[in-house]
Amino acid sequence: MRALTREAVAAVDSLGMLGVVLEQAAHLTDALWRVDSASAPRVDAPGGLVVCGMGGSAIGADLAAAALADRAQRPLRTVRGYDIGPGVGPGTLVLCSSYSGDTEETVCCYEQARDAGAPRIALTTGGRLAELARADGVPVIGVPGGIQPRAAVAYMTVGALECAALAGAAPSLRSEVEEASELLAELAREWGPDAPEDSLAKALARALQGAAPVVYGAGVTVPVARRWKTQVNENAKLPAFWADLPEADHNEICGFERAQDFAAVFLDDPHGDPRLRRRLELTAESARRGSAVVEVVEARGESPLARALSLVLLGDLVSVYLAALERTDPTPVDAIEAFKSALR
């Protein structure tokens, strides 16, 4: 495939993943309305917020925590798994985030939180989670159906942010959500399928084709690096990996000389900690000794949330374009569905 035009992507994108990605700006503001519609009460939660979720339903909590950073006033924790962990009780707000509502790990955590007497909120389209929550009189923040869980990232991020505010764990970032929405609308035009072939998202997809991406984040971009990895996995059906700085400088850097089959992507926050930015610069220089491709990408936006979400949008577009280059439909995840069937 020589050109990543709208028509060329549509030829493999049978269920319209690209269109959903381009709607992220609207998802952000719609998410605020949906949180308000749930009428969830404020709670005094000295134990902070625990968000239980898996995959695309969990990454929003990581993005929210990174955007809040030192503005968080109480603990924020993401649980990926069956066990909600220690210390959860009446003084901790638990947000159970499952797009389908049938994620067994998340439903299990909901039941543990209920047994522990913790206040709860469900963030879902329905399923078993919604049934349990409604039976218990627990607020349900509705998410629109008909898309893949990973495409609901804006809803999950805003849901986690607003629940952190309800728990007294952090200030509300509504103004930053609105700023991010305006920015993503601009970037969707700049990086979208009608943009020139040398635009950033298309150029990155071509650079990554044929190599296994390893995506590095630092500070606010750490969860974004994880998001890039999983989007390449699910949309392009390719192996990809992620790591964070400064940790990678204490181990992974030793493998750069034999990384010919890998492409290193560094996600830079231009407003980040100068120490982390210096590490990122030097680590990228080290990666150039052996990696097939080394790319450094800067976040856009004024607020930490906007900068994180600008890179989320970029990574999502890159993964869809990479799927098109590989002639792979980005939406179906047959391997995951087969695995779930085997579990059942």
Is 260 in contact with 211 (CB distance < 8 Å)? Answer: no
Catalytic, 234? Answer yes
Output the CA–CA distances (angstroms, integers) from residue 36 to 18, 166, 185, 264, in the order listed: 28, 11, 23, 41
The DSSP secondary structure of 155-169, one letter per residue, reads HHHHHHHHHHHHTTS
Mapping DSSP to helix (H, G, I), strand (E, B) and coil, where does residue 337 land? helix
Quick one: which H or E segment has residue 297? strand 293-298
Catalytic residue among 247, 257, 285, 340: 340
- Do the first three CATH levels of 39-172 and 183-325 match, i.e. the same topology? yes
Residue 282: which pLDDT band, with cuts at 50, 70 and 90? very high
Q: Which of 234, 252, 295, 326 is catalytic?
A: 234
CA distance 180 to 183: 5
As a whole number, mean pLDDT of residues 208-234 equals 98
**Active-site residue 27, yes or no?**
no
Q: Which pTM does this prediction carry? A: 0.97
Kindly report the backbone phi and psi dihedral angles of residue 332, in degrees, each rounded to the nearest multiple of 5, phi listed first: -60, 145
Task: Single out the residue of 279, 167, 147, 179 nearest to residue 221, CA to CA.
Answer: 279
Pick the CATH number of 39-172 from 3.30.300.20, 3.30.230.10, 3.30.565.10, 3.40.50.10490: 3.40.50.10490
Say yes or no: domain 183-325 is CATH 3.40.50.10490.
Answer: yes
188-205: per-residue pLDDT in tens? Answer: 999 999 999 999 999 999
Q: Are 84 and 112 in contact (CB under 8 A)?
A: yes
What is the pLDDT at residue 1? 60
N- to C-terminal Cα separation, the chain: 39
Domain locations in the chain? 39-172, 183-325
C-alpha to C-alpha distance for 254 and 37, rounded to whole angstroms: 51
The CA radius of gyration of the chain, in Å to the nearest whole number, is 20
Can 340 be counted among the known catalytic residues?
Answer: yes
